[in-house]
């Protein structure tokens, strides 16, 4: 595409029109319900991580004190600072929501960005609801344009698509005009970032990606509102977003703009039952069932049939994945997660401490876990699991999981999500009274002013 071939109406212009046409009062009930559940889930996750070293470091690294709430802390920050720390905390334990088609984690990016903007600019709950819905929908739809290519290019989809989603969400809450929204979307393309080198040794940067995207969305939306010009061909341009982050200029944008605002993919967001990489979940389910049937000492090998797109993040180098360096690295190791589910009967937050990942019994079984690529595996459209286990006597046992529990085909109930919140709040050191008060606030936040006082401390 040369300058003479630039489109009369760019993708960002079409998307901006659709975002700006949304109205909180006319959101489908299912979308309102999902946004309310998302709010419960992410606040609980921010609380559960509030005392972790990476959250303390993120908070200490901010010198921009201000009026916006850092969930679980008494210190307030600027809107951008609060979005940064809250997003980092929410995504930190990898226990947050997942959009299965992407895959991306929308709540950890969009919710902290929108809440901070609403606090700073004194917006009400209706603006928060609209912003969360618009941001999540935008982020998830963008992840469908060139699925798997972003990861293959070395970038974290949550980081790069999240920056755009946060911009859309904050822009919708602030009621940007279509022109302002185009500029904001164009500008945030130059703010998006997040490489996946954290996989090498379990470094903390993946945790930061959600927070960085959240604060970038606030910055870009405010710049757009102020008239700062951004490229309208940010998405489809020869030097644009998908060229940079997916190494393609042949993207299909119909999933983004085709029926935006008519059909809502937000309704299909999945909530995690395990605090680790989403694609490991169906394999953990299989491993737990196998562990209830046979002894680990009798296992010769466990072969997982997997989608090719998951191998470079969750399986290779295999020796390193079978023996993760630290607890965080264990979250992105299918061999470790499978062995943990088999040996311990479940996989929870405590299974990803640095001590837990060096458990000899788990590591002995993890060394027997390997993979085979199944060319028919539906990833990323659906997350499935299949383990073929061989015993010492030659017996072969198989287990299959046809979908991710907590997703569209077996969603968690509102009661499940509230119970997860209470357990996460307890893990983060909140009293039952504090957690109950916070849950009550969250349940009414979309109906009145955005007052987050009960989420402090």
- Average confidence (pLDDT) per 10 residues, the chain, 457 residues: 78 98 97 98 98 98 98 98 98 96 93 98 98 98 94 96 98 98 98 95 95 98 98 96 94 95 96 95 98 98 96 95 96 97 97 96 98 94 95 98 94 96 97 96 94 94
Single pTM value for the model: 0.95
> What is residue 124's predicted lDDT score, i.e. its pLDDT?
97
pLDDT at 2: 54
Strands 299-306 and 369-373: parallel
Token pair of 76, please? Answer: 């307030």
Distance, in Å, from the CA atom of 22 to the CA atom of 43, rounded to the nearest integer, reads 25
Angle of CA points 6, 245, 183, to nearest 5°: 50
pLDDT in the model for residue 370 = 98
- The answer to whether 166 and 185 have CB atoms below 8 angstroms apart is no
pLDDT at 223: 98
Dump strand ranges (E) for 93-213. Answer: none
Neighbours of 23 (CB within 10 A): 9
Helix (H, G, I), strand (E, B) or coil at 251: coil
H or E element at residue 66? strand 65-69
- What whole-number distance in Å separates Cα of residue 38 and Cα of residue 323? 34
Please tell me whether the peptide bond between 306 and the residue prior to it is cis, using omega within 30 degrees of 0: no
Which residue, 452, 455, 446, is CA-closest to 33?
Answer: 446
Q: CA-to-CA distance for 250 and 236, rounded, in angstroms?
A: 8
**Within its chain, how far is the Cα of 384 from the centroid?**
19
Question: Can you give the pLDDT at residue 192?
Answer: 98
Q: State residue 3's pLDDT score.
A: 53
Q: Which residues on neighbouring strands pair with residue 173, listed in sequence order?
A: none
Q: State the angle between helix axes of 125-142 and 157-173 in degrees (0 to 180), rounded to the nearest 10.
A: 150
The crossing angle, in degrees rounded to 10, of helices 205-225 and 107-120 is 40
Task: State the pLDDT at residue 100.
Answer: 86
Nearest 5°: the CA angle 387, 393, 396 is: 25
Q: What's the Cα-to-Cα distance from 71 to each of 65, 456, 457, rounded to whole Å?
A: 14, 5, 7
Strand 76-77, strand 65-69: pairing: antiparallel
Most distant CA atoms of the chain, gap in Å = 72
What is the Cα–Cα distance from 217 to 5, expressed in whole angstroms? 29
């Amino acid at each position: 595409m040369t300058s003479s071939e630039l489109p009369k109406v760019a993708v960002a212009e079409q998307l901006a029109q659709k975002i700006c046409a949304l109205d909180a009062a006319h959101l489908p009930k299912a979308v309102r319900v999902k946004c309310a559940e998302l709010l419960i889930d992410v606040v609980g996750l921010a609380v559960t991580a509030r005392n972790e070293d990476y959250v303390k470091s993120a908070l200490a690294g901010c010198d921009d004190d201000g009026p916006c709430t850092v969930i679980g802390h008494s210190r307030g920050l600027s809107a951008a600072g609060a979005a940064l720390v809250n997003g980092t905390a929410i995504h930190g334990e990898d226990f947050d929501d997942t959009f299965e088609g992407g895959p991306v984690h929308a709540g950890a990016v969009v919710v902290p960005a929108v809440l901070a903007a609403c606090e700073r600019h004194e917006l009400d709950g209706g603006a928060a609801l609209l912003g969360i819905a618009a941001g999540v929908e935008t982020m998830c739809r963008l992840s469908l344009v060139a699925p798997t290519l972003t990861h293959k290019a070395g970038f974290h989809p949550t980081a790069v698509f999240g920056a755009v989603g946060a911009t859309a969400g904050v822009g919708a809450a602030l009621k940007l005009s279509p022109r302002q929204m185009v500029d904001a979307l164009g500008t945030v393309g130059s703010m998006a970032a997040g490489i996946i080198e954290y996989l090498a040794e379990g470094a903390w940067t993946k945790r930061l990606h959600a927070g960085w995207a959240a604060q970038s969305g606030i910055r870009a939306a405010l710049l757009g509102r102020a008239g700062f010009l951004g490229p309208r061909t940010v998405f489809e341009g020869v030097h644009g977003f998908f060229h940079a982050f997916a190494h393609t200029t042949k993207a299909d944008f119909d999933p983004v703009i085709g029926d935006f605002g008519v059909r809502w993919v937000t309704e299909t967001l999945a909530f995690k039952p395990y605090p680790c990489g989403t694609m490991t979940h169906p394999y953990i389910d299989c491993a737990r069932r196998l562990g209830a049937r046979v002894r680990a000492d009798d296992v010769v090998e466990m072969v997982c049939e997997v989608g090719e797109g998951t191998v470079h993040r969750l399986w290779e180098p295999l020796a390193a994945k079978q023996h993760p360096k630290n607890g965080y690295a264990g979250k992105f190791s299918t061999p470790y997660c499978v062995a943990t589910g088999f040996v311990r009967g479940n996989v929870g937050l405590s299974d990803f401490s640095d001590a837990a990942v060096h458990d000899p019994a788990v590591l002995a079984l993890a060394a027997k876990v390997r993979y085979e690529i199944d060319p028919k595996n539906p990833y990323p459209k659906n997350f499935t699991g299949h383990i073929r286990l061989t015993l010492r006597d030659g017996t072969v046992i198989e287990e299959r999981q046809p979908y991710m529990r907590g997703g569209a085909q077996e969603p968690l109930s509102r009661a499940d999500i509230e119970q997860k919140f209470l357990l996460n709040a307890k893990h983060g050191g909140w009293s039952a009274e504090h957690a109950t008060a916070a849950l009550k606030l969250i349940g009414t936040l979309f109906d009145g002013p955005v007052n987050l006082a009960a989420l402090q401390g």
